[in-house]
Amino acid sequence: MADESNKATLLSANCPFTRLPDHVLIEIFIRVPISEWGQVSCVQRHWANLFREECLWHAALVRSFPLAGQAKRWPGPIPRGLSKRRFAAFYVCKYIFSLDDEMDEIVGHTYLFLKEQLEISTMPLPSGVLHGTIIDQFIACGKSLDKAHELASLIWLAVIENLEENQETCLLLKRLAFEGDVFLSYPYSRSYKVQWRVFERLFTDFRDCFNQSDYYDLLALAKHKFQPIPSAWLGY
C-alpha cells in the first residue's frame, strides 16, 4: 500500500518531480541504484521515455564508467553501439569478468553478442560460426591467437554459466554438445573447458529433461570426448 501511495504522489500534478526539467531528472535517475531503474521507469510514461533515450544512457555511462569516454572505436564484426549498449558492456565487464585492461569494453560487447545469438528462439547460427566471429573480433583488435582463444573461452564459459535453467537452455546445450568442432583448427575450435562445461551442465542441471535415448546418446558422446568422465554423470 505504501508503494501505491508513493506512486500516486509522484503522479500528482502537485508533485515537484512533475515540474523538473529532463536534464535534472536524468541527473537524479542516474544516482538511483541500477536495480531500481525498472521501477522508476514504470512511474510515469515520460520517465519511461527518458530511459529509452540516448541522453540518459550517455549520462549514466559517463558517471558509472568514466573511462568510457577515452575508449576508441575498434575494427571487426561486433559493433560498439550506442550508450545503452556500451553501458551494458561495461557493466558485464565489471560484474562478470572483473577485467581492467583496455579490452574491457570489447569483452563485454562480445559477451552480449554471444548470449543474444545463443538465445535467439529461431534458428541460431552454428556455434562454430559464433566462435569464429569472436576470435576474428579479438584478432582484429590486435590480440594474438593465444589471447584471442583465451578470451573467447572465458566468454563462452561465462555465457554458459549465466544461461537460465529452462527447457530452451537444455535444448541449446544439447545442440552445442552434438555440434562439436569437427575440422576446426586452433584457435577456431572451442576449448576443452568450454566443451566440458556444456556436458557438465547437461548432466547436473538438466538430467531430468532427458529421455533414456537422449541420456545414452549424450553419455556416449561424453565418453568419446572425455576420459575419464565423472561418476556423477553416470546412471539414468
DSSP category for residue 185: P
86-134 pLDDT per residue, tens: 999 999 998 898 865 554 789 999 999 999 999 886 677 889 999 999 9
Q: What is the DSSP secondary structure assignment for residue 96, as one 8-state letter?
A: I
Q: What is the pTM of this model?
A: 0.87
Minimal CA–CA distance to 120: which of 78, 163, 76?
163
Copy the grid coordinates of residue 164.
537460465
Angstrom distances, CA of residue 34 to CA of 39, 116, 139, 162, 206: 10, 21, 33, 19, 32
15: which 3 cell numbers? 508533485
pLDDT in tens, 162-209: 999 999 999 999 999 998 656 678 889 889 999 999 999 999 999 989
Q: Which three cell numbers stand for residue 10?
A: 509522484
